Amino acid sequence: MAEQQKKNIFLVKFEPSSDFTTYSSLGIADEEVIHEFNLARIIECELTDERVDDLKRFSNVLYVERDIPVYAYQQEIPYGVSRVQTQQVHQEGYTGGGVKLGIVDTGIDASHEDLNVTDGFSVFQSGEDSEPYHDGSGHGTHVAGTAAALDNGTGVVGVAPDASLYAIKVLDSSGSGSSAGVVRGIEWAIQNEMDVINMSLGSSEPSRAIQDAVDTAYDEYDILVVAAAGNEGNADGTGNTVGYPAQHDSVLSVAATDQNDLRAPFSSTGPGVDISAPGASILSTVPGNGYDRLNGTSMAAPHVAGAGAVLRAAFPDAPASEIKERMISTAKDIGDRSEWYGSGLLQLHDAVNQ
């Protein structure tokens, strides 16, 4: 007895002039037909591969294709966003709405469907880098997504999805800039009344001009200034390797942890570290409506900047100093090495409900 051939579901499309309901003339039995799509002149049916080959020879059959699976484009919650208690505060309605969040970086791809970029500024005068929404590096776009990617059912979600992003471009497409450019960017942030700025940049060499700028932003204009601690750490976690401006007292300095809440081996160490956030293999937005995983304290800092935006929206009358203290005082103890972790791992829900 011959083995019965396996049947699969196929869609058979008929050419416009044919009577597609007379499929029996093609050797398709009524019991093999699952559905007739009258407008599209297609039938859904169960067929063997042999019958499919036969059907393709008929002139009134335009195509036969296998029924393929289709999936929802689900939004992913990156592990870093989960580790800092973001989902809990979103469920309680704290999402950073009405807060101005400046990303002092390489620009932001404002055409990315997962980002809400309100305005921008570039310190560069010519070429593509003069456009704040051109991010030839991708660094600023990635930082922006962690801080504030939209809760729109696709891609990823950021810590403060309802915050307004501002692209403050002080680094070119190679990721390089100058102290003068950084000061100009901070000046623009002050003039345009940012509530929070993220600086995933730095130098091993201090700049008095940058220190003056961040001190002015924080002390005189009540801007919460967040900066990456730096990626100059060693495997042993020894030495004072925190960069500038993260070393300055007016700046909330962020070290990087991994999926296990352990210090990322590249994360800079020293007394200048204030707090920690995930910075290893962080999934976020990149130019061209894309997503990618990157490592660095640059990826850790926007978790804290986004948290700052959520807190500023939740407590609109609280000064930046209080917002900063809320995050530091409620951080989770993940080890007694303050030079590694500062006060510990950011816990946004605890900061909101302190």
Q: Give me the DSSP letters along 183-229.
A: HHHHHHHHHTT-SEEEE---BSS--HHHHHHHHIIIIIT--EEEEE-
CB 102 within 8 A of CB 197: yes
Strands 196-199 and 224-228: parallel
Dist. CA 303–CA 170, nearest whole Å = 20
Candidate list 139, 142, 248, 349, residue with the active-site label: 139
The structure tokens listed for 70 are: 């289709």
Tallying the residues shown for the chain, one arrives at 354
User: Catalytic residue at 137?
Assistant: no
User: Catalytic residue at 248?
Assistant: no
| Coil, helix or strand at residue 110 | coil
CB 217 within 8 A of CB 197: yes
Candidate list 164, 200, 253, 298, residue with the active-site label: 298
CB 13 within 8 A of CB 42: yes
Dist. CA 179–CA 18, nearest whole Å = 73
**Residue type (1 letter), 347:** Q
The torsion region of residue 118 among left (phi > 0), alpha (psi -120 to 50) and beta comes to alpha
Candidate list 90, 105, 137, 162, residue with the active-site label: 105
User: Catalytic residue at 139?
Assistant: yes
Enumerate the active-site residues. 105, 139, 298
